[in-house]
Chains A and B, each alone.
Chain A
Amino acid sequence: MAAKTKADILARHQANMALKAPAPPPVSRHARDLSADGMISPLDERIIAAAADALEAGQTHYVDVPGIAPLRAALADYLNAAFGAHCETENIIVTAGVQESRFLSIQMIGAMYDSIGIPAVAHPGVQKALGVRARRVFPLAADAERGYLPAPTAIADAVKRGCRLLYLESPARLSGAAYTDEDLAIISAALREHDALAIWDQGLAPWVDGKYSSLAAFEERPSLAATIGEAWPGMGLASWFIGYIAAPADQTPAMQSQKQIMAICTSTAAQHAALEAANLFEEARGQKLAQLSRLRRDISDAAEALNLEAIAGDALNIMALHAPEEAAARLRGAGFDYADGAPFGAPAVIRLSVNTSTMNALAALR
């Protein structure tokens, strides 16, 4: 048998805890699964028609590595309109989902810097991406009072102390907490002063009801932030795996090259579906926000009645709770899955998707 070589490979693998960090699924695995990053949504028949038409027209071949031009343009328009970014088509790379966005940005932008600042509490996918090829990590302490976001002053201090690349989530993938304009003024000033860059995960931003502040709005052209996220979430495309990176021009070639090396391009059907989703997103988002707002209010009241402390968050599609093990065990016992805070870096916290099953989950705790 392949004795020592294989044993060495497996031993290294066993020791690589980052790579094995359990991550939430992209969509629910069953009716009582409240752990998912994305939501199950109906797929508009116009999206189906657009994707099917493209396939029938022969769009079944390789396309450009960074994505089909109309989709890149649509993403640039969306990011500019929704988040005040200043992107051109050339800044956009279409990815096979947000995890590929994380991987490409962390590994390829990360390779240009000595270290990368990583929040102590972040999506487990961040640890997984780092686990593929180790990078020197500069830990950014999480502030529990701010929904586990690192404090802006701590970020500015890290930049001042030499950390020139940061990975930041806003809204936080665990709690949904987002930075404000005042926070971003501090962070962007530090980045600008020290010629630093942030990989900015804003994938949950569409679910913030009201003002959302993106770091991309604090620059005149992409220079401070490489923003990443899912392409038009909530449109029924979570299982199609389609995401984006919008990066400064000097950062895109390395990521495009790596994207070619590891995938050549992103599924054409997914790209054509996403292109149509762009046209329908704003209307659908408005309806979903109204629905999520009602649900979240009810869930928050129910949690309070159970003496479960909700963690403040701005994204309406998730709710994080301080949950003693006994409560978590009862949820599991009732067949409900939740996103465990431990792999995010926050033990004794659970994250629940906000949907019609969530009230049933809390009822199981009564």
Chain B
Amino acid sequence: MSKKKAQGTNLLYQLISEARAYDDVIVMGRGDPDFDTPAHIVAAAKDAMVNHHSDYTPPEGLLALREAIAERVKRVNDIDVDPATEVVVTNGGQEALFLMVLAVLSPGDEMIVPEPNYNTYADSLAFAGGVKVEVQTYAEDDFRADPADVRAAISDKSRALLLVSPNNPAASVIAPRDMKEMLDIAIENDLMILADDIYDLFVYDDFEHLSPASLPGGLERTLTLNALSKAYSMTGWRLGWVVGPADLMARVRELKAAISGGASVISQHAGIAALTGPQDAVEMMAEAYRRRRRLVLDALDAMGMKYGLPQGGQFVFADISFTGMDSGDVAQRILTEQHVLAYPGSAFSKDRKDYLRMTFLQPEAQLIEGMERMKVAMRDIMAER
């Protein structure tokens, strides 16, 4: 009996599982930074284990952490929130994403989603019974979401607009002018905005990140998520947040209480240290990602592969249409034959079977080796055509 082909998130996890079997695997798939969590954050966690291990934490998180988050979103994103009522701490950005979707969308409601997009939004929307209305973006435009296309996608069932900037997997950043127009569209059509700022500290060249909640009229209709996973290399700590207007955040809080209660008090104390402590490790990592991005793009250029310029994020979305194969099959071959894990575009969007997402979250030597192996895989695939 033939095995059913995995799709979407399940496909990614199938590849992750297979990758573990190879001792020499080079992981350019999962968005998990190779750096360990900075030492002062680990030290704060150890201190919390001794001094705060049984502290009560409400579902919305420790006030000290919410204050640190409010200060951070003001400093970095120019979003004004009250830590008492407008911040909810979550089990990572993933739970924040799930909560935002559940908070806003009900069965039959439509959410406008620039595609490609992070696959979990579709999964969460499906749980909520909502409907995804796709707005396509294209590599030749560096995956820019065109506000005119968003406007054209609106129906009487539209309730929300998803704005992930920098985008995952396409790595495009919504330009300030476009972001303002997106907000205007939301206001004119009474849409809520779900803003995903998780890669906001990783923006390259002269591109600029702008949070819709920082704009006049933005905060009251926007839920914004972020997390410590990417910026502080804290993926295993499961700590993120949602900020937004107090009335909606009361709903986010209740949903958080219903889904998982609170977040680990140890992770929360680590989070306080991350946000209030020295930030030089974040700078160091950002600089490393800048170098690695250049390295991967140079390798792709040398191979003659096309891609949308990664304006932000920690990955590049590369065009493999020249292979004539489905990205799931290409990813499988690269993994099986060359022991390089890259994510197939089809896992992010059914219309992106011609793309691979490659992260640059490995040391440079590994990335060089990974791209060499990729070149061999592509050569072998093309030789068979």
Interface size of A by CB at 8 A reads 69
- Cβ-defined contact, A60 with B248, below 8 A: no
Interface bits A269-296 vs B (CB < 8 Å: 1, else 0): 1100100000000000000000000000
Within 8 A of A (CB), among B239-278: 247-248, 250-251, 254-255, 257-267
- Give chain A nearest CB distance to B372 CB in angstroms: 25
Residue of A20, A56, A96, A262 touching B264 (CB-CB under 8 A): A96
Within 8 A of B (CB), among A199-240: 236-240
Q: Is A100's CB within 8 Å of the partner chain B?
A: yes
**A28 in contact (CB, < 8 A):** yes
* Bound complex: CA A9 to CA B248 (Å): 8
- B204-255 residues at the A interface, CB under 8 angstroms: 217, 220-221, 233-238, 247-248, 250-251, 254-255
Q: How many residues on chain B are close to A (CB under 8 Å)?
A: 64
Residue A2 at the chain B interface, CB threshold 8 Å: yes
B interface, over-half SS: helix
From residue 24 to 67 of chain A, which have CB atoms closer than 8 A to chain B? 25-30, 33, 40-41, 43, 48, 51-52, 55-56, 58-63, 65
Tell me which of B29-37, B142-150, B173-181 binds A: B29-37
Tally inter-chain residue pairs, CB-CB below 8 A.
205
Give A52 to B42 CA distance when docked, in angstroms.
8
Q: Contact between B46 and A40 (Cβ–Cβ < 8 Å)?
A: no
B236 contacts A265, CB within 8 Å? yes
CB-based contact B56/A28 at 8 Å: yes
Q: Within the complex, which residue of A241, A261, A273 is in contact with B262, where a contact is CB–CB below 8 Å?
A: A241
A2, B221: Cβ atoms closer than 8 Å: yes
In angstroms, Cα B238 to Cα A263, docked, is 7
Q: B42 near A55 (CB under 8 angstroms)?
A: yes
From A65, A99, A239, A270, give the contact of B57 (CB < 8 A).
Answer: A239
Report the Cα distance A257→B104, complex, angstroms.
Answer: 22
Residues A236 and B260 in contact, CB atoms below 8 Å apart: no
**B94/A60 in contact, CB under 8 A:** no
Q: Chain A residues near B42 (CB, 8 Å)?
A: 52, 55-56, 60
A61 and B236 within 8 A (CB): yes
In the bound complex, do residue B258 and residue A97 qualify as a contact, i.e. CB atoms below 8 Å apart? no
- Cβ–Cβ < 8 Å partners of A23 in chain B: 257
Q: Which residue of A lies closest to B258 (CB)?
A: A128
Question: Once the chains bind, are B259 and A5 in contact (CB under 8 Å)?
Answer: no
A60 contacts B237, CB within 8 Å? yes
**Residues in A neighbouring B267, C-beta threshold 8 A:** 267, 269-270
Interface residues of B in 42-61 (CB under 8 A from A): 42, 45-46, 49-50, 53-58
Contacts of B92 in A (CB 8 A): 263-264
- B264 and A241: CB pair below 8 A? yes
Q: Which residues of A contact B123 (CB under 8 A)?
A: 261
**Which residues of chain B are within 8 angstroms of A238 by Cβ–Cβ distance?**
54
Are B254 and A263 in contact, with the CB atoms below 8 A? no
The interface centre, meaning the residue of A6, A27, A125, A261 with most chain B CB atoms within 10 A of its CB, is: A261
Q: Which of A26, A29, A51 is the one whose CB lies under 8 Å from B49? A: A51
Per the bound structure, the CA–CA distance linking A6 and B191 in Å amounts to 8
Residues from 103 to 141 in B contacting A, C-beta threshold 8 Å: 103-104, 106, 120, 123-124, 127-129
A261 near B98: Cβ-Cβ < 8 Å: yes
Judging by beta carbons under 8 Å apart, are B13 and A2 in contact? no
CB closest chain-A residue, reference B261? A99
Residue from A12, A60, A62 in contact with B37 in the complex, judged by beta carbons closer than 8 Å: A60
Do the beta carbons of A5 and B260 come within 8 Å of each other? Answer: no
**B57, B103, B128, B217 pick with most chain A CB within 10 angstroms:** B57
Most A Cβ at <10 Å: residue of B32, B259, B260:
B260
Given A236-B54, A265-B236, 14 more pairs with CB closer than 8 A: A10-B248, A23-B257, A25-B58, A26-B261, A43-B54, A51-B49, A52-B49, A55-B42, A61-B235, A61-B236, A99-B261, A103-B258, A132-B255, A239-B57
| A/B interface sample: 27 pairs, CB < 8 A | A1-B220, A5-B221, A6-B221, A6-B248, A13-B251, A19-B258, A29-B56, A52-B46, A52-B49, A60-B234, A61-B236, A96-B264, A99-B261, A100-B261, A128-B254, A129-B259, A241-B260, A261-B123, A261-B127, A262-B91, A262-B98, A263-B94, A264-B92, A269-B236, A269-B237, A270-B266, A273-B49
> Chain B interface (Cβ within 8 Å of chain A)?
9-10, 13, 30, 32, 36-37, 42, 45-46, 49-50, 53-58, 91-92, 94-95, 98, 102-104, 106, 120, 123-124, 127-129, 159, 187, 190-192, 217, 220-221, 233-238, 247-248, 250-251, 254-255, 257-267
